[in-house]
Structure 1
Amino acid sequence: MEVKDFYFDLPEELIAQHPLEKRDESRLMIVDKNSGSIEHKKFKDILDYLEPGDCLVLNDTRVLPARLIGSKENSGGKMEFLLLKRLDKKRWETLVKPGKRAQLGAKFVFGNGELKAEVVGMAEEGSRVVEFHYEGIFEEVLDRLGQMPLPPYIKETLEDKERYQTVYSKEVGSAAAPTAGLHFTQELLDMIREKGVKTAFVTLHVGLGTFRPVKAEKIEQHIMHAEYYIMNEETARLINSTKEKGKRVIAVGTTSNRTLETIADENGRVREQSGWTDIFIYPGYKFKIVDALITNFHLPESTLIMLVSAFAGRDTIMKAYKTAVEDKYRFFSFGDAMFLK
């Protein structure tokens, strides 16, 4: 298939620039993947579409405030660092702008010298291996000095950093939020559990590779960047029990979906494990375990719209996206949601 098969025209004003005041007041498009029928609801109405015994699988990764603004030692030139992947205690794979100032041996300072960095290696696609120097715990230093790494299509400043975290985020390590989960409030999760719906957690640390454009003309030629995942024994047991009882496993977000499909065997069973996944799901893929999917509205020609097209059918998805544009749904990270059932 060709990348252009997943293009749609998106007016810029539909790209959500800020989160709504209440997380679960976002709109929710209900799409039946078999009939193609569409309903329009609020996200909190998801409760009506979940059944006792279903299992919601949520990604509990937590976003690092991974954007650092510093200056080059000696010259004082302003620099921007984006942490991509931790390599060891002090070294990170990092995107640095402007890259021409970040040659091997270059040194940088952040804050009042509380954090320092040196370029010690070159990595793929122009990123740098950077070694940081600091006193104390790196995550605490980063929390003081770092900013949320919002996607480039969000131009407005985010006042409350927690709005780019899910209410159940726990395991620090992502460069971007698993945005389908941003719609849940603690109260809504409580009501979901009271209805008899199980909640299970996986961790997939979202890398920026998920959002990088597909440059190949044929989607089969695109290579995904690997991301680290964890599934514990409790989650594996819950999911297997759900499948055995003939109930639905519902992935909250493409990240949970990719984690489940990576781990599941051909019989749709999972086990405790961790590792790296570069799974690329596009039309033609046969799903092994996921029965329904909650997801946001994604960029044209992205790997994410290819994944949802694999799940519900390209024609159904392109029709739903056309409807979303006509009805002025909000798109991308802070936008509205879709339930594919």
Structure 2
Amino acid sequence: MSSASTTFTMPPELSAAEPPEARGLDRDEVRLLVARERSPVRHTTFRALPSVLRRGDLVVVNTSDTEPAAVDGHRADGRPVTVHVSGPAPDQLHVVELRTPDGQRVADGVAGEGIALPCGVVATLLTGHPDPRVATGSRLWRARIPVAGGLRAWLAEAGRPIRYSYVDRRWPIDAYRTVFARSDGEFGSAEMPSAGRPFTSGILNALHARGVGVARIVLHTGVSSLEAGEVPLPERYRVPPETADAVNAVRAAGGRVVAVGTTTTRALETAAAPDGFVTASDGWTHLVLGPDRPARVVDGLVTGWHEPQASHLLLLEAVAGARLVSRAYAAALEHRYRWHEFGDSCLLLPAQSVRRSG
């Protein structure tokens, strides 16, 4: 997998350790950095987003709900372990990640191992994922988790949101859900599609008043803890007909398609033909955006701030170009923006003079 051109060192103290509400802010009062081609970087708050966009633009959001996908258990030798349920796999299996109670990756899992979980449930590791030939030490596993009544109902009782070490206490599941999250009966996202977190009903109303459309897709994301060099894994997505029609109409009229998050971008680009025409579709996306596959339909991107060497940086560069992304990250570090799911936001608006083609 290619490496992003954007390189930087993130001071640990810039990690947002709690939701902005815990700091006395509304969701839409987090900071927003606006990076445009051939314009100075602008520093404002997310509440100003509608004023930055133009009448005729289209904002596309991900409505995937967030599951309480972390559950505590014990290995056969009694060692405590946390199981992160990343999402479904074929054949009634699920993809899981094992972590120690302090958040470290478990590197000695073995195929056939059973993990004792609450309510008498036992998760059995079957094969490594995505490579089923791996029988020891896989980061992700395909596992069988037999639960009477269904996994989602059990997690609602036994689970909690996935939390990494930079978040210093537990927060309720509502802190990890966006204003447009919808449960459609499927297993949702293992981790919040966090670029959408700063949106509020007030922002959505202001977009409408501005003449900016809002359309919806679904992409259920798995655990985000990819290691350096790992390719983004397949994810379930859906681009409904009304969204495909809205995107095509906006493009034909010369407006901009602004995706909220890397998840939305991946879904839209999966549904886009080489000329940028979007067709309603659903299933599993294997698309990896980067130098060999730039964006075809997304003209702008609302995003959070990603860690150094994260695969998300390649996607950002595929939409906005390496120069603009690097400039945005340099400004964010200089002005001490906050990172991660409870952090600040960025709006990338590359030049729109030439429609992208694949």
Matched, 1:28 2:32: yes
Aligned 1:174-253 pairs, distance under 5 A: 174-208=189-223, 211-215=225-229, 223-253=231-261
d(CA) in 1 for partners of 2:219, 2:169:
26
d(CA) in 1 for partners of 2:251, 2:75:
55
d(CA) in 2 for partners of 1:97, 1:300:
22
* Aligned residue-pair number: 330
d(CA) in 2 for partners of 1:2, 1:87:
27
d(CA) in 2 for partners of 1:7, 1:320:
12
Q: Which amino acid aligns with 1:140?
A: A
Select the residue among 122, 134, 146 that pairs with 2:147: 134
TM-score by length of 1: 0.88
Aligned 1:1-341 pairs, distance under 5 A: 3=3, 5-21=5-21, 22-32=26-36, 34-72=37-75, 75-87=77-89, 90-97=92-99, 102-113=109-120, 115-123=121-129, 124=131, 126=138, 127-150=140-163, 152-171=164-183, 172-208=187-223, 211-215=225-229, 223-283=231-291, 285-341=293-349
8 A Cα contact 2:18 2:342, kept in partner: yes
What CA deviation, in whole Å up to 9, does each residue of 1:198-233 have, x standing for no partner? 11111111123x541333xxxxxx633211211111
> Alpha carbon RMSD of aligned pairs, Å?
2.4
8 A Cα contact 1:67 1:149, kept in partner: yes
Please list every run of 5 or more consecutive structure 2 residues that lacks an aligned counterpart in the other structure.
Answer: 101-105, 350-358
d(CA) in 2 for partners of 1:274, 1:149:
26
What CA deviation, in whole Å up to 9, does each residue of 1:103-159 have, x standing for no partner? 44443332242x333334443361333222333232111111111113x35231232
8 A Cα contact 1:90 1:133, kept in partner: no
Q: Which amino acid aligns with 1:79?
A: V
CA change 1:25–1:77 in 2 (3 A) is same
d(CA) in 2 for partners of 1:310, 1:103:
37
TM-score by length of 2: 0.84
> By how many angstroms is 1:89 displaced?
7.6
d(CA) in 1 for partners of 2:280, 2:226:
29
d(CA) in 2 for partners of 1:258, 1:247:
20
8 A Cα contact 2:300 2:320, kept in partner: no
Which runs of 4 or more aligned residues in structure 1 lie more than 4 Å from their structure 2 counterparts after TM superposition? 97-102
d(CA) in 1 for partners of 2:236, 2:48:
32
Percent of residue pairs identical: 28
> By how many angstroms is 1:289 displaced?
1.0
Please list every run of 5 or more consecutive structure 1 residues that lacks an aligned counterpart in the other structure.
Answer: 216-221
